[in-house]
């Protein structure tokens, strides 16, 4: 191990080394139990005499900061209390900004696995069991070989050409998105895609319209950039276009599977939204997060496929159709903002992981993605059908589900006046994780409802879980 020690001049060498090592130990940079370099190696590294280093070690040992073990070496004494007061947020000139970020709500941060219940209806979790792990491993190994020529060099900001071509083909076929590889920017998940688009459009005080209820991380992201975020109500056809402000710069929507309610945006509403964006000069961000899982009816094309004037930025992710830890998303940026988005991406993190990009390109080109989506669609479809059967059956006196034709979550409204927070607590006591829609509202009073995710619970566990929920509901409000 090489220690970072600065030697200035040729005076008081032992004092300089002593003070820096002492500070490193007291501040925890040298952890308790860590072995120090032998005095000979450290003296060679610092180009000082071995006697100088030995004197420093001896003094630190007398200070009870180091301990020697015969025949083994010298170690940092464990559990040294920090004696230097760290700077607090109140000491900073930017303390107000730090405080604002620290206090910003992040309601969709998932709890740790040990905090989950036996039966979990948490949203955002994906079903890991159908994932073709061996096929993915082969794609990663192939990507390692393919990347030999690029090792040690930076890649293009927009993402590897092979992946952009594969994604353009995939979303063109499955979602009707009209794009070529040069329209695409590969990102670190959909959240970075949202960040890049909003970063080039938003300045402090700018107006952004989001669905109400809607996706909290998007709303919080826009607010963090200084936007005036306006919640626009949704009805059975989608966002109420007439309520979008005239000074709006960006409109964030989930038209294929509204988050969290689940209904798709109707075709007339889509046309009205496109016309409204064109009239006010706004960019529409279409977040198409889980429409790959469609269970009935004809697959709906994306909103972007109807865009004739370049006002839609289409955002997608592989976190839902594959695994969240892969962290690859993309944005099909309209020509008016494409160059700006590329600049923002370059300044943000230059480019995403080329290894994962190449592996994903291999995965898509080999046909594994389409097969995996079909398997997941079957699994989620079974869970959706089982859940709807119960919600429309013995649970119907208390709950009314919103019909969904796609996605892997659904909402059910409460039909009776119940203490929703008490319902969630009692369900947790019987090992069922239930969640409300309350966090998805920011500008209006929440309509009491439960949010059921389909990714974290097995099909065979749905009946026993809902049996327990029924017992809790009967206790709170007898049938």
- Which range has highest mean pLDDT (36-40, 44-48, 211-215)? 211-215
Based on the fold, state whether residues 207 and 349 are members of the same structural domain: yes
Based on the fold, state whether residues 378 and 447 are members of the same structural domain: yes
Based on the fold, state whether residues 401 and 417 are members of the same structural domain: yes
The confidence band for 81, taking pLDDT boundaries of 50, 70 and 90, is: low
Which of 366, 397, 419 delimits the end of a domain? 366
Which of 366, 390, 405 delimits the end of a domain? 366
Residue 306, judged by CB atoms within 10 A of its CB (0-12, 13-18, 19+), counts as middle
pTM of the model: 0.84
Total residues found in the chain within this entry: 479
The confidence band for 114, taking pLDDT boundaries of 50, 70 and 90, is: very low
In-domain check, residue 246: yes
Between 440 and 100, whose confidence is greater? 440
Based on the fold, state whether residues 400 and 338 are members of the same structural domain: no
Spatial neighbors of 325 by CB under 8 A, at least 6 apart, are: none
Strand partners, 331: 185, 315
In-domain check, residue 102: no
In-domain check, residue 276: yes
Based on the fold, state whether residues 435 and 321 are members of the same structural domain: no
Q: Is the dihedral of CA 235, 237, 239, 241 positive or negative?
A: negative
Task: State percent of the chain over pLDDT 70.
Answer: 95
Mean pLDDT of 262-268: 94
Half-sphere exposure of 215 (CA within 13 A, CB side): 23
Residue 69 belongs to a domain with what CATH number? 1.10.10.10
In-domain check, residue 111: no
Domain that includes residue 344, residue range: 133-366
Residue 431 belongs to a domain with what CATH number? 3.90.1150.10
Which of 299, 333, 366 delimits the end of a domain? 366
Half-sphere exposure of 312 (CA within 13 A, CB side): 26
Q: Which residue has the tokens 């070496």?
A: 73
Based on the fold, state whether residues 210 and 281 are members of the same structural domain: yes
Based on the fold, state whether residues 328 and 436 are members of the same structural domain: no
Based on the fold, state whether residues 67 and 140 are members of the same structural domain: no
Q: Lowest mean pLDDT of 277-291, 297-311, 441-455, name the range.
A: 297-311
Question: What pLDDT, in 10s, does the model give residues 17-26?
Answer: 999 999 888 8
The confidence band for 80, taking pLDDT boundaries of 50, 70 and 90, is: low
Q: Are 223 and 229 in contact (CB under 8 A)?
A: yes
Count of the separate structural domains present in the chain? 3
Q: What average pLDDT does the structure give for the chain? A: 91
C-alpha to C-alpha distance for 21 and 3, rounded to whole angstroms = 9
Contacts 24+ apart (CB under 8 A), 44-48: 45/2, 45/3, 46/5, 46/7, 46/17, 47/7, 48/7, 48/13, 48/17
Based on the fold, state whether residues 352 and 422 are members of the same structural domain: no
Q: Are 30 and 2 in contact (CB under 8 A)?
A: no
In-domain check, residue 179: yes
Based on the fold, state whether residues 297 and 326 are members of the same structural domain: yes
* Whole-number pLDDT of residue 468: 97
Strand partners, 453: 409
Question: What pLDDT, in 10s, does the model give residues 391-437?
Answer: 999 999 999 999 888 888 999 999 999 999 999 999 999 999 999 99
Closest by Cα among 232, 297, 218, 216 to 269: 232
Residue 288 belongs to a domain with what CATH number? 3.40.640.10
Based on the fold, state whether residues 148 and 183 are members of the same structural domain: yes
* Whole-number pLDDT of residue 117: 86
In-domain check, residue 434: yes
Based on the fold, state whether residues 122 and 232 are members of the same structural domain: no
In-domain check, residue 91: no
* Three-class SS of the chain: CCCCCCCCCCCCHHHHHHHHHHHHHHCCCCCCCCECCCHHHHHHHHCCCHHHHHHHHHHHHHCCCEEEECCCEEEECCCCCCCCCCCCHHHCCCHHHHHHHHCCCCCCCCCCHHHCCCEECCCCCCCCCCCCHHHHHHHHHHHHHHCHHHCCCCCCCCCCHHHHHHHHHHHHHHHCCCCCHHHEEEECHHHHHHHHHHHHHCCCCCEEEEEECCCHHHHHHHHHCCCEEEEEEEECCEECHHHCCCCEEEEEECCCCCCCCCCCCCHHHHHHHHHHHHHHCCEEEEECCCCCCECCCCCCCCCHHHCCCCCEEEEEECCCCCCHHHCCEEEECCHHHHHHHHHHHHHHHCCCCHHHHHHHHHHHHCCHHHHHHHHHHHHHHHHHHHHHHHHCCCCCCCEEECCCCECCEEEEEECCCCCHHHHHHHHHHCCEECCECHHHCCCCCCCCEEEEECCCCCHHHHHHHHHHHHHHHHHHCCC
Residue 13, phi then psi, degrees to nearest 5: -65, -45
In-domain check, residue 98: no
């Amino acid at each position: 191990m090489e220690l970072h020690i600065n030697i200035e001049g040729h005076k008081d060498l032992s004092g300089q080394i002593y003070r820096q090592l002492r500070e490193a130990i007291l501040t925890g940079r040298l952890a308790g139990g860590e072995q120090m370099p032998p005095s000979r190696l450290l003296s060679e590294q610092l180009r000082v005499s071995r006697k100088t280093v030995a004197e420093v070690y001896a003094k630190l040992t007398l200070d009870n900061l180091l301990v020697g073990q015969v025949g083994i070496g010298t170690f940092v004494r464990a559990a040294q209390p920090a004696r230097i007061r760290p700077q607090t947020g109140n000491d900073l000139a930017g303390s107000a900004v730090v405080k604002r970020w620290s206090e910003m709500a992040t309601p969709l941060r998932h709890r740790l696995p040990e905090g989950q219940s036996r039966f979990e209806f948490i949203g955002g979790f994906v079903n890991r069991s159908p994932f073709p792990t061996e096929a993915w491993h082969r794609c990663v190994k192939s990507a390692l070989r393919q990347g030999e020529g690029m090792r040690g060099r930076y890649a293009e900001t927009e993402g590897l050409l092979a992946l952009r071509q594969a994604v353009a083909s995939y979303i063109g076929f499955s979602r009707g998105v009209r794009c070529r590889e040069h329209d695409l920017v590969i990102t670190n998940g959909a959240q970075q895609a949202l960040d890049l688009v909003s970063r080039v459009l938003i300045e402090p005080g700018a107006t952004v319209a989001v669905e109400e209820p809607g996706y909290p991380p998007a709303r919080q992201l826009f607010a963090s950039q200084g936007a005036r975020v306006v919640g626009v109500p949704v009805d059975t056809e989608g966002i109420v276009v007439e309520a979008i402000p005239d000074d709006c710069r960006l409109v964030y929507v989930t038209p294929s599977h509204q988050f969290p309610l689940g209904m798709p945006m109707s075709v007339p509403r889509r046309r009205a939204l496109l016309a409204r964006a064109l009239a006010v000069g706004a960019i529409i961000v279409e977040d198409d997060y889980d429409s790959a899982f469609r269970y009935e009816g004809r697959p709906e094309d994306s909103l972007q496929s109807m865009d004739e004037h370049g006002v839609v930025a289409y955002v997608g992710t592989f976190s839902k159709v594959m695994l969240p830890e892969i962290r690859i998303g993309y944005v099909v940026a309209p020509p008016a903002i494409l160059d700006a988005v590329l600049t923002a991406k370059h300044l943000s993190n230059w480019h995403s992981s080329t290894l994962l990009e190449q592996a994903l390109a291999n995965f898509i080109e080999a046909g594994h993605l389409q097969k995996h989506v079909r398997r997941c669609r079957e699994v989620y479809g079974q869970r959706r059908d089982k859940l709807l059967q119960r919600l429309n059956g013995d649970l119907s006196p208390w709950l009314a589900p919103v019909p969904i034709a796609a996605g892997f979550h659904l909402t059910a409204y409460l039909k009776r006046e119940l203490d929703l927070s008490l319902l969630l607590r009692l369900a947790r006591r019987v090992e069922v994780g239930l969640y409300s829609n309350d966090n998805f509202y920011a500008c209006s009073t929440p309509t009491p409802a439960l949010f059921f995710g389909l990714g974290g619970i097995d099909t065979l566990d749905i009946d026993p879980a809902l049996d327990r929920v029924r017992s809790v509901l009967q206790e709170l409000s007898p049938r």
